[in-house]
């Protein structure tokens, strides 16, 4: 409890210091309104509160960020089934979401099946993108393995959705310069890290920053929207970027 309280104080102070309205990418792993498929899942009740906080601070939730300020993009990693279970809420509030799929996990227990992916795609609110084929630490494998992971995932997902897969999210946030270069060669136009910050502040001019909110309180959500997570940038960078 003390550690959590100290964290909240730090975030509030940092939010006061940055106090920006920069557009931001927010991400989760799953949301549940019944069965819970992962310990990383967010309750629908908490997710509803997050959405309310986003609107309260007058941020627009969009499928693609097109403005430097005032917009939020929401993403989910791994492809758990919770979004499918909670689709009624997502449809009711017209919340655009991007889900990064680990293609070798499709249809496994707790994960979306091909049929469910197609149903969600039909809502015109859910977009599916690559989270690699087997979820390795991309920054720790060789270039041939990187290329195989990214090309297999892209090809597999495109065969299901019938749409070009343009976005990649790095599993566990791990990446390197070869990862960035190979992803570009394979046609990934957007690459997403777990480095916190504003969406326009691209790492090395190429990699999009994201802010993890799955267990965040409403207070933390508000702080993050004002730029507070930047305080953790150096820590995440040292752990996730392999030079």
Q: For 5-17, how does the pLDDT look when each residue is reduced to its tens digit (9 = 90+)?
A: 677 777 888 887 7
CB contact set of 177 (below 8 Å; sequence gap of 6+):
204, 243
Mean pLDDT of the residues in the chain: 95
For residue 138, give the CATH number of its domain: 3.20.20.370
d(CA 170, CA 235): 17
In what helix (H) or strand (E) does residue 227 lie, and over which residues does it extend? Answer: none
Residue 55: the pLDDT is 97
Count structural domains, the chain.
1
Residue 104 corresponds to which tokens in the numbers above? 């070798």
| Percent of the chain at pLDDT exceeding 90 | 88
Q: For 32-62, how does the pLDDT look when each residue is reduced to its tens digit (9 = 90+)?
A: 999 999 999 999 999 999 999 999 999 999 9
- Banded model confidence at residue 195, pLDDT cuts 50, 70, 90: very high
Range of the domain at 114: 2-242
Q: Is the pLDDT of residue 66 over 60?
A: yes
């Amino acid at each position: 409890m003390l550690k959590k309280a100290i964290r909240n104080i730090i975030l509030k102070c940092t939010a006061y210091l940055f106090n920006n309205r920069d557009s931001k990418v927010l991400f989760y792993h799953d949301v549940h309104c019944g069965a819970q498929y992962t310990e990383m899942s967010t309750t629908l009740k908490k997710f509803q509160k997050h959405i309310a906080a986003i609107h309260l601070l007058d941020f627009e939730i969009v499928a693609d960020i097109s403005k430097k300020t005032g917009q939020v993009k929401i993403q989910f990693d791994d492809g758990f089934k919770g979004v499918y279970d909670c689709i009624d809420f997502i449809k009711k509030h017209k919340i655009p979401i991007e889900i990064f799929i680990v293609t070798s996990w499709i249809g496994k227990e707790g994960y979306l099946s091909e049929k469910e992916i197609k149903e969600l795609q039909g809502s015109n609110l859910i977009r599916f993108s690559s989270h690699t084929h087997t979820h390795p630490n991309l920054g720790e494998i060789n270039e041939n393995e990187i290329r195989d992971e990214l090309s297999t995932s892209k090809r597999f997902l495109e065969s299901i959705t019938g749409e070009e897969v343009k976005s990649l999210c790095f599993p566990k946030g791990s990446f390197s310069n070869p990862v960035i270069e190979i992803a570009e060669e394979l046609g990934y136009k957007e690459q997403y890290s777990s480095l916190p910050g504003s969406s326009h502040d691209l790492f090395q001019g190429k990699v999009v920053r994201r802010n993890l909110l799955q267990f965040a309180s409403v207070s933390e959500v508000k702080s993050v929207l004002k730029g507070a997570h930047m305080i953790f940038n150096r820590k995440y960078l040292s752990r996730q970027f392999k030079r």
